[in-house]
Structure 1
């Protein structure tokens, strides 16, 4: 592991101007490319205290052996150079947008003499016009089958086309009217291209013009008593309308936009984009990316725009608007760069209200579901789970893989309503029937609370282990009968040492302890001054994170339940004569205890079932006043007894 201080540039040698920098490994390969508005400020951040850096950034700066940079005049130039270098060097530590699956497009090969309509995957190429992407290839074929009635363009391969031309006989589509059969000369190359151009206009959003023309021709044929042609036009019109119904109208103003949303955790982010053209969702696409450093949502937007719209082949796909959840720091430069690629103005903005904001929320839900599916695929993969347990055993020097892992987390607010959770994972999967919740009394900080919950859990285990019989009446094991091979606590060195001390005090020597610190995802072991750093791509780290996050969710849910119950009932429980029915009536009427406390005596007394005396008692309980100080009629004039 290299020491970044050995190649840190001398103080004052890094310029403050905009530029692009490259980190290189000992063999000279570029492993990271970045841009900055101020090179000095950005590069100095990489040479801060090593343990304050993001784990992936730590790995990058300790893998590198040198850094160089190039200054430019503006942020737009920096953006262009950064994109060019990332494409040229393919650095291993840069964010890379990879599809979570291969998306099919409806492609039109305009570079051929007789353009072909087909399903196409993979990299885009010049001379081909793309529509989509679609979720499934069958969706393209279904749409195409409907539209071939209206636009009978060629869909066959080059071999089939050549064979039909040689034998002077069209294929089946030519016989049933779903191909104009240019292979046998029924239409010329110019006439066939005109059909294809009309198809492209229709797919690009020019639908009204076509529908009106078909309707006009249909009525014209009917008035001329050419009923056969009118019926054919009627069917064409119906097919075109049916194809349009499959493309949902989401915006009524003919918006040309890409709507981008993210769902993320500490290590990964799921990205979803809806392509809206002519107010309709023409395609949807998704990626799952690995975070390579501490990235904000704005940073993810920057990387998305620079990579997805950067390819020359995709430059024509840059829309008029890019709707994002958060603007990056270089939003103005990014807009200028996108406008240069599009050839006209591009707006990069965050929708605040209306249909666009609603659509953004829909895309965000899709991103969250995509991230969940991605995690579930890893969680349910037996090979990945086995690899995760083996990695944890190796990293923590355990004799065997920890088949049962218990994780503890504390939830509190300034020492009030302190609770703890215990979640159990067996063979890498959550076993929710074994989850436990603890109410902590006598502890006001996380360290003392961890000590208490570990003592209670393992004291119960020892008591149940030594008791006879070991099974409950129905044959099930008792609550704490099974010991874990590994205890994980949410926290760093103090929490780990506290848990280890309790286990040593109880004489439990066959249970390992570690902690997962949330800020940098470090794994801490008892009495170690330095944490264990697991690779960001490690299945073991992913499993530990899932266990920790599940414990946190379980703890905070319990804490919220207790806090809510205390806030809504504790003050009113002390009011004499106020039963559960009237308590609920008060809270239903005023909405909360806070609003009830701000109400006047008359307003409370006006609630059905309440009277002046009970209303005064409620106010006294909420405000901590003596009941006599709130006499509703002001008639309590009993003189003070002599002293």
Structure 2
């Protein structure tokens, strides 16, 4: 404590960021202050104890600090240090899932659209985050009908591009910049419309298209007028029906918040041009304080962390209550907004706490949504804990049934799948405390066994799984093989060779669902409604499903290759190019000669061979 006392005397009365550290220099808490001396001393000497004092201070062993030029700089530094160190006693933002962004490669003469999971410092422009990944991908796909922008990864130059155009060009979803079919200036106008649309500025996009349609009609160009009309319809269908509209047409973020114990839910309602366009859900963890200031502290933490990563910041952020240092955060948000828009939006970002009217109604709506989502999540957690408890009880019953040395928390199941002697495969599935552990599933191509011999195949798989390179790494508490005495004895023989005979192992025979164990002639027979039997069956069936799916996949690939092999002048490289481009034999069958020629490896003669093979009657 003498070291802390000495540090307190060294703190300057200046703006900055402080770090409270525990044993071995572990960062416990990071905060900012107008006066480092007054703020940090208040933890130890203040007449009104800080909310964290009783919980954190007994572990504090050292205090470090950074002096900054102003409060905004302190805010940015605090946020960066929190992201770097993830301190135990700071509130942390956690999305309920990973949200996608739309990446627009504006650093290219012909920008491309790409759906990505994170923002990178690569010079591209990022739009988002968006809530629903599938909806974003569908919207991008639909909008390329209206705005023919490329989605490929080609590295294009302003001119002199000589690539073969792909299918998107032929169906009107790309202008063909890869073959210089569109100029950079024309293409830039299309990209700007796309970015305006995704920024919520759909009104100006539609207005522009209406003007083009009316101009086309005036010039009796009815074909292009119909094209613009269809584009307007597609955009209008892509916009969700709005429940909230405002003639003032401002961009706003509405924040609602609810708490249950140490967890908190934040609802972010996105209002663009006066219309409610989407809703995002976030969860805050490390809510330790129980003081009256928890709401403002949590909102402050959320705003700092969320808007430091956001690709767009609206002019108004509507809050349910006041937050810490509102003027400083407003200044920081304004700077961030200016940076994100490259100086196009310089007006002050405003934090508002409405007392009545439309904005208060939106806050109340967001608050109710946050409370409902948190209650639902709490109910789900309780239900999952109940199910997990039931499964652990069943594992205890299984331990007792099989006389195992410990509860089988890790069980590995093995199965063989083949059709005659064609493409034999095997699977290994893993359950941890009764729950599937998908990341540890494994698939095997049978390499050493010729013909149909499930027993020998099981031996190969067990040997490959438990060879010396794997010993000592996540060995199971119980092994389950699909089969009766033959498969079980074969597996036991391999385990004995590998000096792993002590590993518990059982076999489950499909016919009567009898359980076989080593060195016992009679099986264990359980009633068909026995929950312990159901636990084993589920794992066996999962191993069967995983093996069967792998076998079917290999058969489909083999079938594709065998069909294409019969076409003259189609070798391995051309087979791979066709399947990569079209995705399936059926799509290749439907392709025209021009479609086939869009692949660089296919010339006219080969395209004709492929087309005639699928369309001329076989002798």
TM-score when normalising by structure 2 = 0.54
Q: 1:156 to 1:281 in 2, by over 3 A?
A: farther
Q: 1:229 to 1:310 in 2, by over 3 A?
A: closer
On the 8 A contact 1:95/1:289 being kept in 2, the answer is yes
Report Cα offsets for 1:49-108 as digits up to 9, x if no partner: 9xx876x75453233312234555654444244234324433233211111111123332
Distance 1:362 1:129 in 2: 32
On the 8 A contact 1:262/1:270 being kept in 2, the answer is yes
**1:375 paired to 2:370:** no
Q: For 2:106, which of 106, 110, 121 is the aligned residue?
A: 110
On the 8 A contact 1:104/1:133 being kept in 2, the answer is yes
C-alpha RMSD of the superposition: 3.6
1:24 maps to: 21
2:367 maps to: 364
Distance 1:24 1:93 in 2: 11
Matches within 5 A, 1:591-606: none
Report Cα offsets for 1:282-335 as digits up to 9, x if no partner: 443222112143452111121122222235xx4x62321111111123112222
Q: For 1:322, which of 317, 324, 328 is the aligned residue?
A: 317
On the 8 A contact 1:250/1:359 being kept in 2, the answer is no
1:309 maps to: 307
1:145 maps to: 141
**1:236 paired to 2:209:** no
On the 8 A contact 1:133/1:284 being kept in 2, the answer is no
Distance 1:384 1:43 in 2: 46
Distance 2:175 2:121 in 1: 26
Name the SS for the 1:318 alignment partner: coil
Q: 1:389 to 1:46 in 2, by over 3 A?
A: farther
Name the SS for the 1:317 alignment partner: coil
The unaligned stretches of length 5 or more in structure 2 are: 339-345, 394-619
Report Cα offsets for 1:28-62 as digits up to 9, x if no partner: 2322111234545543454479xx876x7545323
**1:339 paired to 2:337:** no
Matches within 5 A, 1:131-142: 131-142=127-138
Matches within 5 A, 1:94-133: 94-133=90-129
Report Cα offsets for 1:178-222 as digits up to 9, x if no partner: 221222322133322221112212333443333233333334433
Q: 1:72 to 1:212 in 2, by over 3 A?
A: closer
On the 8 A contact 2:258/2:371 being kept in 1, the answer is yes
2:298 maps to: 300
Q: For 1:181, which of 153, 176, 182 is the aligned residue?
A: 176
Q: 1:11 to 1:224 in 2, by over 3 A?
A: closer
On the 8 A contact 1:76/1:334 being kept in 2, the answer is yes
Report Cα offsets for 1:122-181 as digits up to 9, x if no partner: 2354533333333322211332233222211112344999xxx7762322x222212212
Distance 2:30 2:253 in 1: 26
On the 8 A contact 2:72/2:329 being kept in 1, the answer is yes
Q: For 2:210, which of 211, 215, 224 is the aligned residue?
A: 215
Distance 2:131 2:372 in 1: 15
Larger radius of gyration: 1
On the 8 A contact 1:170/1:184 being kept in 2, the answer is no
Name the SS for the 1:135 alignment partner: coil
Q: 1:305 to 1:362 in 2, by over 3 A?
A: same
On the 8 A contact 1:250/1:281 being kept in 2, the answer is yes
Distance 2:187 2:166 in 1: 15
Distance 2:390 2:45 in 1: 34
Distance 2:7 2:222 in 1: 87
On the 8 A contact 1:131/1:282 being kept in 2, the answer is no
TM-score when normalising by structure 1 = 0.52
Q: 1:74 to 1:376 in 2, by over 3 A?
A: same
Deviation at residue 375 of structure 1 after TM alignment: 1.9
**1:66 paired to 2:62:** yes
Distance 2:99 2:8 in 1: 49
Q: 1:37 to 1:160 in 2, by over 3 A?
A: closer
On the 8 A contact 2:200/2:272 being kept in 1, the answer is yes
